[in-house]
Amino acid sequence: MWDKGDTILVDAEPTQQNSSLWCLSREDSGIQPRITSMSKLGKTLRNDLLKLGEKFSTVIVDTGGQDSTELRASLLAADVIISPMRPSQFDIWTLDRMNKLVVDAKQVNENMRAYILLNAAHTNPLVDETKESVQYFKEGHYENIHLLPFVLYDRRIYRKVVGGFSVHETGTDGKAEAELNQLYKEVFNV
Ligand SMILES: Nc1ncnc2c1ncn2[C@@H]1O[C@H](COP(=O)(O)OP(=O)(O)OP(=O)(O)O)[C@@H](O)[C@H]1O
Ligand SMILES: [Mg+2]
């Protein structure tokens, strides 16, 4: 029996099941706390997520960034959506598409908050892509999607961390931790 107060991670990525694999290797490594996870695909995902929301205090869903049945179904159930984008691939077309998906979803799920997160930003201050991306966003005058006021930089720790650990659990990259803390604060208010 699940207790309310727990967190569940739902892997709803149609092409690759990275979140499930991460949980599995976490389990194999015996890392605490355990993270309950499940895979769910298809149109029934919205109802499944709403039901899970009654049992768990936090439901985290990974749909992947591509447009999919799973992304659309999740948008209909989510309180918060975070859409990570790399500044180098950041373009008006992608933002327009995300904005449209959010506008459609808000007809049913009106209180959802939708955020764009700039991820894997260049650490070299001479590279302007992040600034340019922020500028692009401003010029779009989107009313339904909000740009988070911080970025996650491209840091090797994300590629090096294995065995189901989190960046914080490796304790080796204070900068990446501080950046992630801003995200946790925004989403979970911690
Ligand atoms: N901030 C970052 N710094 C360095 N490497 C990163 C960062 N964010 C992601 N990566 C690396 O990039 C790769 C792909 O990232 P990620 O898993 O977030 O995308 P994805 O799940 O493949 O994309 P999507 O599911 O949206 O299509 C991973 O190997 C990950 O370690
Ligand atoms: Mg993914």
Q: For each of the domains in the chain, give its residue range(s) and CATH number, in order of start.
A: 7-155 (3.40.50.300), 156-190 (no CATH)
Strand partners, 153: 121
Find the helix packing angle between 129-140 and 92-106, rounded to 10°: 40
pLDDT digits (tens, 9 = 90+) for 101-146: 999 999 999 999 999 999 999 999 888 999 999 999 999 999 999 9
3-class DSSP assignment, residue 72: helix
Q: Which residues line ligand 1 (CB under 6 A)?
A: 13, 18, 64-66, 119-120, 152, 154-155, 158-159
* Phi (first) and psi of residue 97, to 5 degrees: -65, -45
Q: pLDDT class for 1, splitting at 50, 70, 90?
A: very low
The model's pLDDT over 44-85, given as tens digits with 9 standing for 90+, comes to 999 999 999 999 999 999 999 889 999 999 999 999 999 999
Point out the ligand 1 atom lying closest to the alpha carbon of residue 15: 25
Which pTM does this prediction carry?
Answer: 0.93
